[in-house]
Structure 1
Amino acid sequence: MTDLSTVKASLESRLAELKGRVERIEADLAEPHSADFAEQATEREDDDALEGQDALLGREITAIKAALGRIEDGSYGECTRCGEPVGEKRLEAYPEAALCISCARELEQR
């Protein structure tokens, strides 16, 4: 099995990186718009894209925090849905995975 301290350090590093990106996005979104109407339209489109990125980052942050919680409580590597092992290769590729591949596929089909 993978060394959990290495996984934890990697997840914590990724979490810090994502939080920094969210802070930069939120700072960009807080900037006032230009007085020029045409420029405002472009800025609003940019804001929409930034808001979409912010939402994606928020979901990833939530998944990483949950994975760190599972490491702390000893359930890391167990599917949160069925209790079976998530799988070593899946966790290597996606360390914040909460579901085994079978449960993940089943939920995707819904």
Structure 2
Amino acid sequence: MKSVEIRKTELEARRAQLLARMEQVESELDSHIEKDWADAAVEQEQDEVLEDLGESAQQELRAIEAALERIAEGEYGFCVTCGERIDEARLDLLPATPFCRNHAPGAKAKRG
């Protein structure tokens, strides 16, 4: 069983990775030079992929920030819906999750 401090350190490390990745995405998006039509079309496709990566990173970053806030408040590891402890295996896979398995988005659809 990992301590809350270990999980906090892992979340902070992941946050640093995401911030660095977002900075790289912004830099890449800002580094365009005039290109011919074909190069511009390829670059636009790459920009869309980079923007999707940036949005994904922002969503994960918000989840991490919320998890760090729950750690500070002493509420980390407990489901925000029912208050039950979140299973360690679930936290290993999704350390920023605010939900137990039963209250995760889409849980009812998965259970049938």
For residue 106 of structure 1, the aligned residue among 79, 99, 108 is 108
Per-residue CA deviations over 1:16-49 (Å, capped at 9, x if unaligned) read 0110000000111112243311100000000000
Amino acid at match of 2:72: E
Point out where structure 2 has 5 or more consecutive residues left out of the alignment.
Answer: none
TM-score, length-normalised on structure 1? Answer: 0.91
Q: How many residues align?
A: 109
Output aligned runs, 1:81-96, within 5 Å: 81-96=81-96
The question of 1:72 aligning with 2:68 is answered no
Identity %, equivalent residues: 37
Runs of 4+ in structure 1 displaced over 2 angstroms?
32-35, 106-109
Equivalent residue of 1:32, what SS?
coil
TM-score, length-normalised on structure 2? Answer: 0.89
Conserved 8 A contact 1:33-1:40: no
Output aligned runs, 1:13-28, within 5 Å: 13-28=13-28
Point out where structure 1 has 5 or more consecutive residues left out of the alignment.
Answer: none
Find the aligned partners of 1:55 and 1:33 in 2 and give their Cα distance: 24
